[in-house]
Amino acid sequence: PVDLVFEISKDSARDDLLAAKTALTAERVDHVICPHPSPRSAWLVGQIKRTGEAVGYHEWWNAWAFTKRVKRLPHLPEALKQL
């Protein structure tokens, strides 16, 4: 079961991002799934203390942030890419 979900808009103010980071790093989580392939998202995932996997899209630069990286299939709609 999923206990907590954070959605952070690209248009969020810096204060919203810092508030989310504070909440996400305050305690240990089991798993992290990051459906956004950006350096800022990877940086945020890298800050989270976790006991399980961190899953994100495979990019040449983000091996340090994720324990499992999956290939992004650009021909699929975004909702199907995230399944």
At residue 68, the pLDDT reads: 95
pLDDT digits (tens, 9 = 90+) for 18-68: 777 888 888 788 888 898 888 988 998 998 888 899 999 999 999 999 999
Contact status, residue 57 vs residue 70, Cβ threshold 8 Å: yes
**73-to-45, 69, 81 alpha-carbon distances in Å:** 21, 13, 6
pLDDT digits (tens, 9 = 90+) for 1-23: 777 777 777 676 677 777 778 88
